[in-house]
Amino acid sequence: MKLTNVQIDLFAILISLFLIITGVIIEPFSTKEILMTVFGLAFVIGGYAKAKEGILDTISNKQLNVEILMILAAVGAFIVNDFKEGAILILIFGFSGVLEEYATSKSEKAFKNLLKLAPTTALKVVGEELLEVEAKELQIGDVVVVKNGDSVPSDGKIFKGSTSLNEQAITGEFLPVEKIEGDHVYAGTINLSSTIHVEVTKNPSDTIVQKIIDFVKEAQEQKTESQTWIDRVEKYYVYLVILFSIMMMTLPIIFNWLPKEEAIYRGIVILVVGSPCALVASVSPAVLSSLSNAARKGILIKGGSHLERLRSIDTVVFDKTGTLTEGKPKVIGYHVLQINEELFKNVVYSMESQSNHPLALSIVNYFSQATKVELETKESAGFGVEAVYEGQTYFIGRKNDNEITTDNMKAFFNQGATLVYVYQSERLIGYIGLKDTLRKDAIDVIKFLKNNQIETMMLTGDNEFTAKAIAEELKLDSYKSNCFPDSKRTIIEELNKDDKHVMMVGDGINDAPALSLASVGVAMGDGTDVSLETADVVFMNNKLSHILSSITLSKRMKNVILQNMIFSISVIVLLLISNLFGWVLLPIGVIFHEGSTILVILNSLRLLFK
């Protein structure tokens, strides 16, 4: 069995501890050379990992770090014949390093689990045979067999069979989801029931699970503003501690304030107690713990900087369809003008069947008995679908309130419906009414935001009547109707100019420009690929209430980081002042200094829970 780095380092610490205990036992009747050998071995074995890390980082970054400070302090202790103190210093420093490494691995666990989601092989159907192939080699249109207990190798739709899938790794939901023929399935989800045949609809490199993996890697590499600040401080602070230590070792001797041995001893103590170990550990474990906590709930945050910005949000802007509403509108009726009704239904059905927009899917289901005709469509995100049939240009989409002229239209609007207009060569030939339902948690989310003095706004392509009805039902602060992609982008730009810290929540291609401009862009998990890539945060299980969770988590993380920083700086200042008066012995300084580091890490681990 291969040992992990944490296990190897812990084994070295245990050997070092054994040698130190041995040294303490034989100290009364041993020579200086024997003690130097025993404690020296404890020093080398216990400090090797940290010394190697410090030296390599120093060479790589071309600057000293806290590991070098501790090594210098231990070497200094040996120089003044305090072998035991030097060995104990390295032992405690090494142990705190093991604990920090464990804390980091613990907080990264949710991320590392995500990295293992996608299976590496798949059972591909080739004629009458099943061939085991690399999952990354699958192509769109391939059919794979997923047996009970296996993971789905690529995004696709069920070609044959029915089953229940565990989608927890993707959505955060632990309850199995029933799937039948035609249903979409995600790579990385686990088949719980019976064998199914899945037709691949995406290249493995473009699947949702692969995007999650890419996002996770990006999140681990990103640094928060607090981390960047500490990195800058550490760069100069280490040299300041060394300078202060040298001054402590030389000035008292030059001016005869202290004996030589005492001055050198206090200078060594400064290297220990002045080291910013706890301060450096104040941020990273807290950020990783928070990101892991969020990932476990189905909130994928693409980096600590985005999580940090969430606490400053003062305005939340919502898309309507698929965000505030379920995104599964149903057709409640239609009206045909100046055209044969059969032709109207056939053209609408044929055009909308080539679109993946939620409204289009509902219309296709409603007109499923219509006859499909041959035509090619051109879709404009946020505007509609256009096609030419029998020499006539047809357009299906939403335009503006100028078309609202009839009592039939107003009757639809009074029901809270959205109208989709159908044109033939710029002439209105009919319209279709669709009605969506609010998400169950929408009202509670808006209430939470208002209670926290966060403004709420809705941007929708719907007409004024429908937008106003939704806004009043949710008690939103403001709304904008008849919004196209460019207008959504413009509104976010205007809010940014007013120094607003904006969270934009959306799910469609038309939301992508606005998501990219917001302080924090949030995409619903079943949104389009473009919105998932553009957003800073993804709600994998589509729960709007995750807005509350993510903002609360961001504030908790900031509080913990602030607690850690204040505590660690206070300990350093207190120990440095005490050392000036000779009140701090090296072992005591080590215990208080490394103890503060351990407490800071444990405090950060609290963010893994709740």
**Residue 542: burial class (beta carbons within 10 Å; 0-12, 13-18, 19+):** buried
Inform me whether the pLDDT recorded for 505 exceeds 60. Answer: yes
In this prediction, residue 41 carries a pLDDT of: 92
Inform me whether the pLDDT recorded for 220 exceeds 60. Answer: no
Q: Residue with structure tokens 């120990």?
A: 575
User: Cα separations (Å) of 71 from 15, 235, 482, 516?
Assistant: 18, 17, 66, 46
* Across 372-376, 503-507, 531-535, 594-598, least confident range: 531-535
Residue 1: other Cβ atoms inside 10 A: 4
Q: What is the mean pLDDT of the chain?
A: 83
pLDDT tens per residue, range 225-280: 666 777 777 778 888 888 988 999 899 999 888 888 888 888 888 888 887 878 88
Q: Can you read off the two tokens belonging to residue 357? A: 């927009």
Inform me whether the pLDDT recorded for 446 exceeds 90. Answer: yes
pLDDT tens per residue, range 95-154: 777 776 776 666 555 555 555 556 778 889 888 888 888 888 888 889 999 988 888 888
Q: Is 375 helix (H, G, I), strand (E, B) or coil?
A: coil
Inform me whether the pLDDT recorded for 1 exceeds 70. Answer: no
Q: Residue with structure tokens 């029901």?
A: 415
Inform me whether the pLDDT recorded for 564 exceeds 90. Answer: yes
Residues whose CB is less than 8 angstroms from the CB of residue 254 and which lie 6 or more positions away in sequence, other chains included: none
Greatest distance between any 2 Cα atoms in the chain = 111
Q: Which residue has the higher pLDDT, 315 or 295?
A: 315
Alpha carbons 435 and 326: distance in angstroms, whole number: 10
Handedness of CA 251, 257, 258, 259 (dihedral sign): positive
Q: What is the mean pLDDT of residues 320-341?
A: 86
pLDDT tens per residue, range 404-437: 567 778 788 777 787 889 999 888 899 999 888 8
Q: Which residue has the higher pLDDT, 59 or 175?
A: 59
Q: Which residue has the higher pLDDT, 510 or 127?
A: 127
Q: Which of 497, 534, 527, 538 is nearest to 513 (CA)?
A: 534
Determine phi and psi for 187, rounding to 5 degrees: -60, 140
In this prediction, residue 113 carries a pLDDT of: 57
In this prediction, residue 382 carries a pLDDT of: 58
The single residue of 82, 142, 155, 319 carrying the catalytic annotation is: 319
In this prediction, residue 565 carries a pLDDT of: 92
Edge-first strand listing for the sheet containing 478-480:
299-301, 537-539, 520-524, 502-506, 315-319, 455-459, 478-480
Determine phi and psi for 462, rounding to 5 degrees: -70, 165
Q: Among this protein's residues, is 319 annotated catalytic?
A: yes
Residue 138: other Cβ atoms inside 10 A: 22
* Across 22-26, 178-182, 296-300, least confident range: 296-300
**Is the entire prediction scored with pTM above 0.75?**
no
In this prediction, residue 425 carries a pLDDT of: 87
Q: Which of 64, 57, 22 is nearest to 41 (CA)?
A: 22
Q: What is the mean pLDDT of residues 41-55?
A: 83
Residue 369: other Cβ atoms inside 10 A: 7
Classify residue 151 by its DSSP letter. Answer: B
Alpha carbons 23 and 30: distance in angstroms, whole number: 9
pLDDT tens per residue, range 176-190: 778 888 888 888 788
In this prediction, residue 95 carries a pLDDT of: 79
Alpha carbons 466 and 537: distance in angstroms, whole number: 28
In this prediction, residue 172 carries a pLDDT of: 52
